[in-house]
Amino acid sequence: MTDAPTQAAPVLRAEHLQKTYDEGTGRVDVLRDISLTVHAREMLAIIGASGSGKSTLLHVLGLLDQPDQGRLWVAGQAADGLSERQRSRLRNQSLGFVYQFHHLLPEFTALDNVAMPLIVRRMRRAAARQQARQLLDQVGLSQRATHFPGQLSGGERQRVALARSLVTQPACVLADEPTGNLDRHTADAMFTLLRRVNQDLGTAFIIVTHDPALAALAHRQLEMQAGRLQAAGC
Ligand code: ADP
Ligand code: MG
């Protein structure tokens, strides 16, 4: 795709991020010097070999983990120097997450799983369910609202997880191999859906994927290699 939005204000900006794991078994410089700007409405794919630091980078960008060095801005707000509580608030207000395994709560229906982030925010249950219903509709699952995760296919569960990540209207969704557990056909459908949500709702996406064909559907492709991000050759 060539129509990458570059004019809008960044939803995420990182400068010179560094992170090292040192756990007795040897030092691993996972993030060496990562600088990155993700614009509003942009869809960015990150590829890279297993162990190249993709998940670590997403965790740092998503305020789930701290870099050893470097600066980060989320939705225009500087993330360094914030208390844990302020970091949580910034994360909850501005970011959504989708993982390789859906992490849905098995004892709740699809609708209540999607409504959960709003209920946690103390929204009234009826209002939360109403918004959740709209998101289930967006991902084409209004007919599955009362199903439990165990009654859904793998692709349907990932779509519920996507709806849940979107229900708080985040500026940016961080997705870590969201199609990694799906077959080819279902993975294609999921990626097409991600792109449609990106266009319809204007949500920015950072998507880690093993699959260069799927990555090619994003506006921009970067590759993690030896702790650095570079333009991907896919
Ligand atoms: P990817 O997602 O690209 O597969 P990760 O970010 O999960 O890569 O891991 C990058 C490297 O950092 C790997 O060598 C991994 O073993 C190491 N690593 C990840 N998390 C930890 C941790 N909590 N403690 C020590 N090493 C870790
Ligand atoms: Mg990973």
Going by C-alpha positions, the residue among 229, 204, 181, 176 that lies closest to residue 44 is 204
pLDDT band at 26 (very low <50, low <70, confident <90, very high): confident
Q: How far is the CA of 111 from the centre of ligand 2 (A)?
A: 28
Question: b vs e for 199-229, b when ≥16 Cβ sit within 10 Å of the residue's Cβ?
Answer: eeeebbbbbbbebeebbebbbbbbbbeebbb
Q: How far is the CA of 115 from the centre of ligand 1 (A)?
A: 32
Alpha carbons 179 and 109: distance in angstroms, whole number: 22
Alpha carbons 94 and 191: distance in angstroms, whole number: 22
Q: What percent of the chain has a predicted confidence (pLDDT) above 90?
A: 83
Going by C-alpha positions, the residue among 4, 25, 36 that lies closest to residue 228 is 36
What domain count does the chain have? Answer: 1
pLDDT band at 2 (very low <50, low <70, confident <90, very high): very low
What is the pLDDT averaged over residues 126-145?
96
CB 209 less than 6 A from any atom of ligand 1: no
Q: pTM (2 decimals)?
A: 0.93
Q: How far is the CA of 1 from the centre of ligand 1 (A)?
A: 31
Domain contains 60: yes
**Which atom of ligand 1 is the closest one to the Cα of 57?**
6
| CATH number for the domain harbouring residue 183 | 3.40.50.300
CB 56 less than 6 A from any atom of ligand 1: yes
pLDDT band at 1 (very low <50, low <70, confident <90, very high): very low
Residues 6+ apart with CB under 8 A from 196: none
Alpha carbons 204 and 4: distance in angstroms, whole number: 11
Domain contains 145: no
Q: Determine which residue's CA is closest to atom 23 belonging to ligand 1.
A: 21
Q: Determine which residue's CA is closest to atom 10 belonging to ligand 1.
A: 53
pLDDT at 4: 57
Alpha carbons 60 and 91: distance in angstroms, whole number: 11
Domain contains 31: yes
Domain contains 68: yes
pLDDT at 119: 94
Domain contains 135: no
pLDDT at 101: 86
Higher model confidence: residue 101 or residue 62? 62
Domain contains 185: yes
**Which atom of ligand 1 is the closest one to the Cα of 50?**
4
CA 202 to chain centre: 14
Alpha carbons 191 and 196: distance in angstroms, whole number: 9
CB 22 less than 6 A from any atom of ligand 1: no
Domain contains 176: yes
Give tens-digit pLDDT for 150-187.
999 999 999 999 999 999 999 999 999 999 888 999 99
**Cα dihedral 114→116→121→123 (10° resolution):** 80
- Contact (Cβ atoms closer than 8 angstroms) between residue 96 and residue 82: no
Domain contains 43: yes
Query: What is the domain range of residue 201?
Result: 10-103+170-231
For residue 148, the one-letter residue type is F
Alpha-helical runs (H) found in the chain: 54-61, 84-94, 110-120, 125-138, 154-166, 184-201, 212-215
Give tens-digit pLDDT for 39-80.
999 999 999 999 999 999 999 999 999 999 999 999 999 998
